Amino acid sequence: MSEGTNTPRVYLDHNATTPLRPEVGRLWQELAQSNLGNPSSLHASGRAARDVIDRARERVAAALGVLEDEVVFTGGGTEANNLALQGRAAALPKDRTILAGATEHPSVQAVVERLAKIGRPIKRLAVDRSGLVNPEQVAFFLESGPVGLMTLQLANSEVGTVQPVAELASLLGARGEGPTLHVDAVQALGRLPLDLAGDLARADLVSLSAHKVGGPLGVGILVRRKGTALAAPLVGGGQEEGLRPGTEAAPAIGAAALAVELAVRDQESHATEVREHATWLWSELTSALPGLDLLGPPIEDASRRLPNTLTLHLGEQDARLLVTRLDQEGLECSAGSACSSGAVEASHVLLAMGLDERAARAGLRLSLGRNTTRSDCKRALDVLVKVISPLLATRNNSVDL
């Protein structure tokens, strides 16, 4: 909880971004003030900056259980997704179909739409009311013609649905032989077990982002397995194996590596704590606000939903307007993905889950984080009941009439 000028504030928008971890901030500041040079320069200051990046790559690889030369630093999760999809599509034969989930992050949706406009064959993977992809549909598409790439979000940023990626990956065949598998794991890091040597060993490309786990903004990670060819969308420099030209932000990358290490180390305890808080909050909300719906898999299905995410459905209330009202009362949350919540259209995620246009504007996302306390949850409960109760009463009265 943070204090504003008059109203105590509670931040429940951790799926959008997380507060910088203190130890990560200290390292970032220390590196930023150490007079590092350009990492591509050959003099001592340049070599010092290069050493920071090399050590960061080593630490990230060790934390994720991958090889050092499989770690590519980017400017964020969105860039990692773009590099993975545009880069891989450009390296594939043009007749190969691309499979994409209907509820993917906007940074994936936009790339897929662009590829469709230039004639690449695209097939969308439908989801059920919980947001889950059907393995039978994946199998059908794989049998229907040559598939070059499948992209899936491991954990959905809006409703918290966790896809059965390991099960779906088993349909693709061995890595290096079947279609390329890209996994957007941005929301999963630090919240779910991320076993890139086990359940996700089949993934050829995996996108991650530092600021979702208490790291600095502006640093993403693309895990590119050996043998996975990418055509660089940008040119003009040889950084990151030529895949991401431009001078690297060595201090931020060094700090991001620490954030990833801590996220992996603390994942189990963090997930347990935020799940307990989220479960308590949902239980209290349903008692205080009968008729409130939870989007995504059931709260008790821990294997199929992010432990920290509650997306409430408010019938036909526009959640964007409600976010402003809640903010005035001291509760910060979201109407959906931070990359799309400012848009006027209905949520593509909720539309894909079967909601109509009006109902797809009524999803209110609460996402808890490492700093969330039970006191924060109690304060959030008070604010939610205060703001939502009159809306539900109006809706119920309208139905009675």
pLDDT for position 401: 30
Alpha carbons 186 and 78: distance in angstroms, whole number: 9
Helical spans, DSSP H, in 73-131: 77-91, 106-117
pLDDT for position 177: 82
pLDDT for position 176: 78
Residue in 91, 102, 201, 339 annotated catalytic: 339
CA 114 to chain centre: 21
Per-residue pLDDT averaged across 147-172, rounded?
Answer: 96
pLDDT for position 318: 85
Neighbour count for residue 315 (Cβ, 10 Å): 16
- Confidence tier at 92 by pLDDT (50, 70, 90): very high
Question: What's the pLDDT tens digit per position in 351-383?
Answer: 999 999 999 999 999 999 999 999 999 999 999
pLDDT for position 174: 83
Is the pLDDT at 398 greater than 50? The verdict is: no
Question: What's the pLDDT tens digit per position in 291-306?
Answer: 889 999 999 999 999 9
In this structure, are residues 109 and 82 in contact, taking their beta carbons and an 8 Å threshold? Answer: no
Per-residue pLDDT averaged across 374-397, rounded?
Answer: 86
Q: In what order do the strands lie in the sheet with 147-153?
A: 71-74, 220-224, 205-209, 180-184, 147-153, 97-101, 122-125
Question: What's the pLDDT tens digit per position in 238-278?
Answer: 888 889 888 899 999 999 999 999 999 999 999 999 999 99
In this structure, are residues 286 and 62 in contact, taking their beta carbons and an 8 Å threshold? Answer: no
Instruction: Give the chain's mean pLDDT.
Output: 92
339 in active site: yes
Question: What's the pLDDT tens digit per position in 192-249?
Answer: 999 999 989 999 999 999 999 999 999 999 999 999 999 988 888 888 888 988 889 9
